[in-house]
Amino acid sequence: MARQDDTPAAGGKLFVVATPIGNLDDLSPRARATLSQADLIAAEDTRHSAALLRHHGIATRCVALHEHNEREASVELVRRMQAGASIALISDAGTPLVSDPGYRLVRAARAAGVAVSPVPGACAAIAALSAAGLPSDRFVFEGFLPTKSAARRAALQTLRGETRTLIFYESSHRIVETLQDLVAEFGGEREAVVARELTKQFETVLDGTLAQLSLRVAGDADQQRGEFVVLVAGAGDDDAAAKLAAGRRVYTILSTELPPSRAAKLAAEITGASRKALYDASAASSEE
C-alpha cells in the first residue's frame, strides 16, 4: 500500500488541522508544515488565529469560515480544491468540528470527491479525560448543554441513567448554574471533575462529588473564569437498575391512560431510566 504524503497534494485536498487549546507550542511539527505549505487556511476567526500563525512564522493567507458563513463559503472553497488548491481548516482552538465549525465544509468536500485528511492534535475533551481519573474506556461527548436552565435540566434528565463517563463543555457565564443543575438531576454524590483553562497559565483540574465541586466553584471567583470541561462519572450498575425499576413502576401506572410510547417517554423523563429499555420491557410483557 502506497504511503500517503503528509504535505498538501497538487491535486487539491482538504486538511483538517488540530491547533493548540492554549499553549501555542502544542502545535505539532506536521501541523506546522501543513499550515505553511497549504495554499489557503480556512480559520474560524482569522484575527484569533493570527497569533498562533505569527508565533510559528506561518505566512499562509487566511479566510474566515465560521458558523454564520460556512454554508456559502464552502461552495467557493470546494471549487478551489477541485481546481487543485490545498486548504487547511482550523478552528480557534483544538480539533475542528468538535463543537466548532467545519462539518459542512468537510461534508461538501467529500461529496465533491475532494480528499480530506486529518492532522491530529489537541482536543479539550480528550485532554481533560486523560487527566480526570474517571473511567475512560467508555465515554460520551455531549458538547455544550442548552443555555437556559429548563432546557439544560431537560437534557440532563435524559442522561441520568447513562453508564459511560459524560463529557461536557461549558463557558464561564454558565459554569455555576450548570453544576447546580447537574447536582439537581444527577444527585450530589456523583463523582465528577471540572477541568479549567487546560494547558494555559491558570490551568486547574478539580475532582470530587458534584455537590463538592458545585460549592467550590460557586465560592471561588477565580474558578469561574476561562473555558471549562466538565466530566461526570456514569451511573453505576445499581443506579441504572434502580432507575429502571422505578421507571417500570411509573410506566405501569401511566400505561393505563396513555399509549405505550408516550408512557415510556414520560416514565423515562420522570425517573431517568432508559426510554428504550422501558419500551422494550413493556413489549416483552405484552408478548407473554
pLDDT score, position 278 = 80
Q: Alpha carbon of 264 to those of 233, 234, 277: distances in Å?
A: 25, 22, 9
- What is the residue extent of each domain of the chain? 13-122, 125-235, 238-287
In this structure, the number of other CB atoms found within 10 A of the CB of residue 201 comes to 8
Write down the CATH number for the domain with range 125-235: 3.30.950.10
8 A C-beta contact, residue 36 and residue 82: no
Q: How far is CA 110 from the centre of its chain?
A: 22
Tens digit of each residue's pLDDT, the chain (288 residues): 344 455 444 469 999 999 999 999 999 999 999 999 999 999 999 999 999 999 999 999 999 999 999 999 999 999 999 999 999 999 999 999 999 999 999 999 999 999 999 999 999 999 999 999 999 999 999 999 999 999 999 999 889 888 899 999 999 999 999 999 999 999 999 999 999 999 999 999 999 999 999 999 999 999 999 999 999 999 886 676 667 777 888 888 888 889 888 888 888 888 877 788 787 766 655 554
Looking at domain 13-122, its CATH architecture is 3-Layer(aba) Sandwich (3.40)
pTM above 0.85, yes or no: no
CA 179/CA 187 separation, integer angstroms: 11
E strand or H helix at 24: none
Copy the grid coordinates of residue 172: 464561564
Q: How far is CA 40 from the centre of its chain?
A: 27
HEC secondary structure over 54-116: HHCCCCCCEEECCCCCHHHHHHHHHHHHHCCCEEEEECCCECCCCCCCCHHHHHHHHHCCCEE
pLDDT score, position 23 = 97
pLDDT tens digits for range 191-231: 999 999 999 999 999 999 999 999 999 999 999 999 999 99
Residues 6 or more apart whose Cβ sits within 8 Å of residue 165: 129, 132, 134, 135, 136, 138, 139, 140, 231, 232, 233, 234
pLDDT score, position 165 = 97
The residue type found at 37 is Q
Domains 13-122 and 125-235 share a fold: no
